[in-house]
Amino acid sequence: MERVKFYSTNDLSCGWNLKKSENIITDYDLGNKEAKDINDIIELYNIKKFFDSKTYLQEWTPDIVEEFKKIIKETFEIVPRFIKSINDDNFISIYNEISFDYEEDFWELINNFKAYKNISEQKFIELMSSSKVSLYELLKYKNVTAHFGVIIKNYMIGESCSSAELLLDYYELNHTDLLYLPKELSNRDKEIIISNYIDSEEPNLNYLRLITNIQSNKDKLEISPKILLKSKRKAEELENYLFEENTGLRIETAVVFSKSQEEAVTLRIENQSTTAIYSSNWIEENVEYATLLNNFIYLFEYVDSQMRCNLVNKNSEMGVLERHLVTRSQNAYSKGFAFDNKNIFSLLQLTGYYNQLFNAGIRLEEVIEWFFREYLSTEFGANNFRVTLPSASSTFLEKCTNIMPALEAVLKQFILYVEEGHIDFELLDIRSEHLIYKNIPSLVNKKYVYGVGEEFNTATFLLFSDQSGLGYFHKTKTSYNNFLKLMNNVELKLIDVPEYNLQKINWLIEHKYIESSKDEIIVFHNKDLILLLYDLYMNDVAVYWKYPTNMRLILDNLQGENVVEFENSLFSRPEQAYFNYILNKSQFNNGLDLRNKYSHTQPTFGEDGIIHNQNYYIFLRMFIIAVIKINDDFCTAAELRNLRVS
């Protein structure tokens, strides 16, 4: 816009707005300008905001600043007089004159100078009925909302489409603006607004999905199961209509167990098709129970070299659109295409592997029972672990119902072993607390590393993000994915850095992530530090004891500088979130909630049991992950004991 607008002290338009302000202040001082309408008044208000925040042009001397302050103080006296003169006679005509970008400022002035007291309810209703008012801007101001609460409530119920999306934005999405909803708007009113939105002619599919996953809260949005189900069915109906003739991008994933293949595993990737081929003969020739479990690590890659679960969602695997443009509740588990693909692939692996073992006379459930009953005792002296998994004769419904109590039982036994050094089942029976995955302790001290704080976020963004703007090499006009890739491919000198990127580069130099050599070539100050940060950026967590001594010392220093923090638990934070997403809704409103579906109700997903079959393999996958994590915890604890002894 041509007029002055204050957004924030960090906004890129500050320079232009201040230069414009300088001309306006001078015109007022010389008598060449006077405030004639509401936009002039609001412009003065915005100019004053710059001076209130002590934001000035660099070329302004202290004397100039003081002179401008004096002029603004004298000129600004007209602002409260004008605002307080607004009443029924001029309210709507003045509102209709407001420039688009000044609506928020208008309500702010009405709110601050209590001009709403001069406006009758009838006149306010007339304005609201004109459909020109932005409800979102209006609700930012507490006094105005409180004064016209009943009118705003009735308006929101009558305008269910815009009001429903506003409520969903406010309660379910990550918006930072504080809104003041009228106290007259009850939970029942909010439910009516949401219900009317679902029944409207053109509800937004993204918002329908949000409604479907709402976790009712009497202090926020309390939506009945009936309304949630209505939203779910409406979303499914709309999805079928929208995608009926849209075939989209065909992506194929296949897992094959071959009798003719000699290699343990081969991978074929052609266009959008991925096929993993495993040797049936190799599996049948290596049927030791320990090897059969290790296959989930080395053949199926359920975990990486640090024993971090590969199946969790990682921000680094999500595209820009998935991270920023997808409508997603702030209470939802964030997941992208890569996450869904990995989990489909892992289920295909497990299903095929389970059948291969079964045909060879081995039940995977018996292998898991062996791990707890015999392996932990023989290898680590951890005696008395007990577990009984579903029998071969059980239906898949029965298996789904019985497997989660078995998993929770061994995890509770592990907690007791960590805390007491042995398993006392009488004590275990007395302890009836609910299993919370983040509270499951580790045998290992200082196990996980997490990046924290502003310095970590800034450093990793500048070094590794594809949005930092540092991956472009102007000399050859070549784009790299991020600054790290650029540094690995070109010899970058300080003189090659564009002026608009110098501030970012200087920050990295000041904080000793990079440095300039004698010939002004930019190099990393400490390559091991960069590798550690990159690992944290890509995986959201690192495992302290998987690094050599020199890199652990770097992590210790980073912890002392509050750039990273340590935590002891069996599962890492991403793994805890993954378990909660799959098994319950304690953390995320879009969780699959599989545990509770079989614990609290009798599911009726079709008579053929296909859904129960699939869900059982999901449960079994979670059990396998727990086995891998427990084994790694025991192994690491044993290695550290041996290290201390030696």
| Dihedral of alpha carbons 372, 377, 383, 384, sign | positive
Closest C-alpha to 171, from 220, 208, 223, 215: 220
Position 409 confidence tier, pLDDT thresholds 50, 70, 90? very high
Question: Is the pLDDT confidence value at 373 over 80?
Answer: yes
How many CA atoms lie within 13 Å of 6's alpha carbon, on the beta-carbon side?
A: 20
Position 606 confidence tier, pLDDT thresholds 50, 70, 90? low
Closest C-alpha to 81, from 38, 127, 50: 38
Position 259 confidence tier, pLDDT thresholds 50, 70, 90? confident
pTM of the model: 0.76
Question: Is the pLDDT confidence value at 319 over 80?
Answer: no
Report the C-alpha gap between 105 and 495 in whole angstroms.
44
Report the C-alpha gap between 347 and 352 in whole angstroms.
8
* Cβ-proximal residues to 29 (8 Å cutoff; 6+ apart), any chain: 71
pLDDT for position 321: 65
Q: pLDDT above 90 covers what percent of the chain?
A: 65
* Cβ-proximal residues to 446 (8 Å cutoff; 6+ apart), any chain: 544, 545, 566, 568
Question: Is the pLDDT confidence value at 290 over 90?
Answer: yes
Question: Is the pLDDT confidence value at 594 over 70?
Answer: yes
pLDDT for position 600: 65
Q: Which residue has the tokens 């290992």?
A: 444
Position 646 confidence tier, pLDDT thresholds 50, 70, 90? low
Question: Is the pLDDT confidence value at 247 over 60?
Answer: no
| C-alpha distances in Å from residue 645, one per residue of 632, 640, 641, 642 | 20, 9, 6, 5
Report the C-alpha gap between 552 and 550 in whole angstroms.
5
Q: Greater confidence, 315 or 541?
A: 541
Report the C-alpha gap between 540 and 366 in whole angstroms.
34
Report the C-alpha gap between 498 and 49 in whole angstroms.
32
DSSP output for 617-644: HHHHHHHHHHHHHHHHHHHHHHHHHHHH
Q: Are 493 and 521 in contact (CB under 8 A)?
A: yes
Task: Tell me the backbone φ, ψ of residue 524, rounded to 5 degrees.
Answer: -75, 135
Largest Cα span, the chain: 97
pLDDT for position 171: 87
pLDDT for position 1: 56
423-429 long-range contacts, CB within 8 A, separation 24+: 423/383, 423/384, 423/385, 425/384, 425/386
Q: Which residue has the tokens 């002179």?
A: 67
Question: Is the pLDDT confidence value at 192 over 90?
Answer: yes
Q: Are 327 and 210 in contact (CB under 8 A)?
A: yes
What does the pLDDT look like over 201-242, one tens digit per residue? Answer: 888 888 898 898 888 788 788 899 999 999 999 988 888 877
Question: Is the pLDDT confidence value at 250 over 80?
Answer: no
| Residue ranges of domains in the chain | 1-118, 134-245, 252-285, 288-437+574-643, 448-567
What does the pLDDT look like over 262-282, one tens digit per residue? Answer: 899 998 877 778 899 999 999
How many CA atoms lie within 13 Å of 104's alpha carbon, on the beta-carbon side?
A: 10
Is residue 608 packed enough to be buried (19+ CB in 10 Å), middle (13-18) or exposed (0-12)? exposed
Report the C-alpha gap between 256 and 280 in whole angstroms.
9
